[in-house]
Amino acid sequence: MRRIKQGALALGVFAVLLVLAHFAMPVDDHSKVVNLSQQMAQRSIEKESDARRDQRTRSSQSSLHDQRCTYPSWLNQVFNPDIGSCPWDGQEVITSSNLNQQCLWTSFKDRGKEARMCVHPSDADFISRRVVHVGRFPHCDGLAPMWHKQLNHSFGDNSFGDNKEVYLELGGNIGTCVMHMLAHTNARLVVFEPNPKNLFCITSTLLGLDAGVRQRVALFPFALGDLTVNDALINAAVGNLGNSAIGASVQDNSKQTFHPPEHIQIKALDSLNVANHLDIPLMKMDIQGFECKAIAGMPQTLSKVRNVFTEVAPRWLQAQNCSGSELVNMLEDTGFSVSASQPKDVAREQYNIQATRLNRT
């Protein structure tokens, strides 16, 4: 504004001098003065315009710099993502391409804890059928014990204090393991799930919980990989939405078909700007063969992880140009000791592995 005022004052002084000079100059020079006056006025206008544009640019840049993801309130203590990578805001259900999608409401029941849960229709999804029939998904049962075991083996100074560590889940699905961890731990949960059909269920469930419980979850609606892809495709199997593979269609059986693909985003986890002091006692992965790519995009975050529990699905890994042995090597190369469990699904040759960090610097 000071530049604008100075420019206007200079123009006024120049105009006065022109009037005085008009009476002392020959008539032939009058047109030259008029042209010069017009040129000076135009330059002054251009300078004022430039000053206003610079001021708007500085204001816009300052505004973008000040913007941060604000939900949940604790998020910036662990990750500080750009405004374009914020998690779900906890306000509305995330919808899919199926605008007629509805919840099948059932009861989540797990060791004396109970809550309403939104699942897919029983004939549409394997995991949903399990929740309807037994109240939970048994695959999640071991997570809370692993979590508590890791809390009893602390690695040095914990900046958050008791009951404030972060559980990291890649592949939230409809939220069965999220509900298990909410019920049996005091953890803060950072969860990634890209499939909009599953996001519809998990956000519906979370909105039905008390606000204090819901705010323990930071739910990111995109996949994790080794680089950013703004328009990828995910293929979900009919009858098993847990079989949602990115850029590939891998059948559970020869008769399985797939829903029309959904458009999703992929980001590298380290692009979310992990906090230096972050402590992750447990990370769970079940992302249909994308595990190798996700690990490749998180070297900084992975250094904060104490324990990894992940599914190994050879055919799904092969579809993403990886293998079970390569996945194990990636974990061992970053300081983990890896042990395998019994096969999770013999027919599909799937099994789980647990990786425990040997030391932490």
Q: What are the backbone angles phi and psi of residue 256, rounded to the nearest 5°? A: -70, 140
CA-to-CA distance for 137 and 218, rounded, in angstroms?
A: 21
pLDDT at residue number 153: 60
CATH of domain 81-357: 3.40.50.150
**pLDDT, tens digit (0-9, with 9 covering 90-100), for 103-144:** 999 999 999 999 999 999 988 899 999 999 999 999 999 999
Q: Is 209 exposed, middle or buried (0-12, 13-18, 19+ CB in 10 A)?
A: middle
CA-to-CA distance for 36 and 42, rounded, in angstroms?
A: 10
CA-to-CA distance for 76 and 65, rounded, in angstroms?
A: 14
What confidence category does residue 301 fall into, taking pLDDT thresholds of 50, 70 and 90? very high
Residue with tokens 């309403």: 116
Provide the whole-model pTM: 0.79
Residue with tokens 């604790």: 74
Q: In this model, does residue 5 exceed pLDDT 50? A: no
What confidence category does residue 35 fall into, taking pLDDT thresholds of 50, 70 and 90? low
* Cβ neighbours of residue 26 closer than 8 Å, sequence gap 6 or more: none
**pLDDT, tens digit (0-9, with 9 covering 90-100), for 8-28:** 445 454 444 444 444 454 545
Q: Where are the domains of the chain?
A: 2-66, 81-357
Helices (H) and strands (E) in the chain, counts: 11, 13
Q: In this model, does residue 238 exceed pLDDT 70? A: yes
Reduced to 3 states, what is the DSSP secondary structure of residue 118? strand
